């Protein structure tokens, strides 16, 4: 994470990193998704979720601890974070928006942003891999930049106006990009307007000592994981938690 990216993440609560996936990997991820027998997404957000993709191929599992993204997660979460849960979002033209949620106020213990001793600390943090283009003219992830530090609750007038409010941004996030955001941010989904599907894979990481849910995410069955990927599935605890970056500098 370079100086500018760190500044922007601290300032806005999210960051779009473009060109993370080369075209061939992007095509393979989309091809494998096409080859599943997923029911098409519906109009409501519940029917716009899918899971199970870690069993679809190594190219999906590689995203768990991708070399380009791990250093960002280390800066945002500190070492020893864990995969809290994960799911995919697919939307078709007309799939509805998801309400704005999250925000620094009222305080929500698993979803926090703090700056202490010269670094940031974040609770639940998302790396969302985009398999198709998203953006203001298309829909998708939206957020109130800076709201991870808001001292007042998000007003109902902004919640109601949603992506039409000037405070809400739908960032340009091309296929192959990753959006990293802290769940302390007020964020949601803008209704999908494009003719093609929105496809995003959301990996949600927590600091090692906490879990959002009582059910800890289990590794996919019947597939090989690398030692570092297995570490990501460890249960929450703090004391002597093992490093995800052993042998790496910095
Ligand atoms: O559309 C997005 O990427 C945001 C989704 C979201 O906030 C959620 O699933 O809770």
pLDDT score recorded for residue 42: 93
71's CB contacts (< 8 A; 6+ apart) are 1, 250
Residue nearest to atom 3 of ligand 1 (CA): 141
- Ligand 1 contacts (CB < 6 A) are 89, 98, 128, 140-141, 187-189, 200
Q: What is the pLDDT of residues 134-178, one digit of tens each?
A: 999 999 999 999 999 999 999 999 999 999 999 999 999 999 999
pLDDT (average), residues 180-207? 98
The 3-state secondary structure of 188-245 reads EEECCCCCCCEEEEEEEEECCCCCCCCCCCCCCCCCCCCHHHHHHCCCCCCCCCCCCC
Cα–Cα distance measured from residue 250 to residue 245, given in angstroms and rounded to the nearest whole number: 9
Q: Running DSSP on this structure, what letter comes out for residue 94?
A: T
Distance of CA 78 to the CA centre of its chain: 16
b/e code 188-227 from CB counts within 10 Å (16+ = b): bbbbbbbeebbbbbbbbbbbbebbbeeeebebbeeeebee
Three-class DSSP category at 169? strand
pLDDT tens-digit map of 194-240: 999 999 999 999 999 999 999 999 999 999 999 999 999 999 999 99
* Ligand 1 atom showing the smallest separation from residue 183 Cα: 7
Give 12-63 pLDDT, tens digit per residue.
Answer: 999 999 999 999 999 999 999 999 989 999 999 889 999 999 999 999 999 9
Residue 148 DSSP symbol: G
* Residue in this structure with the two tokens 């922007």, named with its chain if needed: 8
Find the 124 Cα to ligand 1 centroid distance in Å.
13
What CATH fold (topology level) applies to the domain 3-232? Jelly Rolls (2.60.120)
Q: How far is the CA of 239 from the centre of ligand 1 (A)?
A: 31
- Answer yes or no: is pLDDT of 249 > 70: no
Return the best residue to mutate from 99, 187, 197 for the ligand 1 pocket (most ligand atoms within 8 A of CB): 187
Residue whose C-alpha is closest to residue 57's, from 174, 220, 177, 217: 220
Domain boundaries of the chain, sorted by first residue: 3-232
Find tokens 């009222």 and name the residue. 106
pLDDT digits (tens, 9 = 90+) for 60-103: 999 999 999 999 999 999 999 999 999 999 999 999 999 999 99
Of 14, 44, 89, 190, the residue with max ligand 1 atoms within 8 A of its CB, to mutate for a pocket test, comes to 89
DSSP 135: B
Q: Print burial letters for 117-151: b (CB count within 10 Å at least 16), e (below 16).
A: eeebebbbbbbbbbbbbbbeebbbbbbbbbbbbbe
250 has pLDDT over 60: no
């Amino acid at each position: 994470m370079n100086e500018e990216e760190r500044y922007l993440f601290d300032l806005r609560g999210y960051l779009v990193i473009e060109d993370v996936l080369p075209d061939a990997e992007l095509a393979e991820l989309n091809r494998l998704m096409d080859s599943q027998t997923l029911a098409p997404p519906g109009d409501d957000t519940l029917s716009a979720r899918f899971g199970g993709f870690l069993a679809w191929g190594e190219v999906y599992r590689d995203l768990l601890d991708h070399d380009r993204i791990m250093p960002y997660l280390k800066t945002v979460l500190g070492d020893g974070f864990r995969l809290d849960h994960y799911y995919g979002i697919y939307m078709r033209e007309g799939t509805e928006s998801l309400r704005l949620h999250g925000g620094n106020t009222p305080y929500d213990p698993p979803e926090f942003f703090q700056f202490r001793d010269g670094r940031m600390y974040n609770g639940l943090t998302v790396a969302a891999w985009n398999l198709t283009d998203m953006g203001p003219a298309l829909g998708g992830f939206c957020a109130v930049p800076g709201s991870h530090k808001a001292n007042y609750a998000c007003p109902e007038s902004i919640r109601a106006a949603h992506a039409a409010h000037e405070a809400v941004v739908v960032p340009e996030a091309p296929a192959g990009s990753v959006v990293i955001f802290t769940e302390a941010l007020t964020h949601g989904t803008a209704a999908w307007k494009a003719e093609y599907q929105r496809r995003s894979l959301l990996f949600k990481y927590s600091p090692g000592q906490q879990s959002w849910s009582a059910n800890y995410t289990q590794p996919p069955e019947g597939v090989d994981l690398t030692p570092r990927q297995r570490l990501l599935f460890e249960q929450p605890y703090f004391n002597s938690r093992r490093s995800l970056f052993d042998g790496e500098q910095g």
